[in-house]
Amino acid sequence: MFLLLEYILAEEELNRKLREYINKYNSLEPNGYNLPEEKKTNLN
């Protein structure tokens, strides 16, 4: 079962909310699955 937390159409708002939830739940590695920006660029 899933609960819809937000309904967002604009990409800018989506990115802002993503950062907000990452900060709220402290979900950057090693505490969660989200990678810091500097590590994301090294995946290519």
Helices and strands of the chain, counted as H and E runs: 2, 0
CA-CA distance, 31 to 25, in Å (whole number)? 9
Token output for 38:
């500097």
Q: What integer pLDDT is reported at residue 34 of this predicted model? A: 81
User: What CA–CA distance (Å, rounded) separates 30 from 7?
Assistant: 28
Give Cβ neighbours of residue 17 (< 8 Å, ≥ 6 apart).
6, 8
| pLDDT, one tens digit for every residue, the chain (44 residues) | 989 988 999 999 999 998 999 999 998 888 888 877 766 665 55
Is the pTM value of this prediction over 0.75? no
So where are the chain's domains? 19-43
Number of Cβ within 10 Å of residue 17's Cβ equals 13
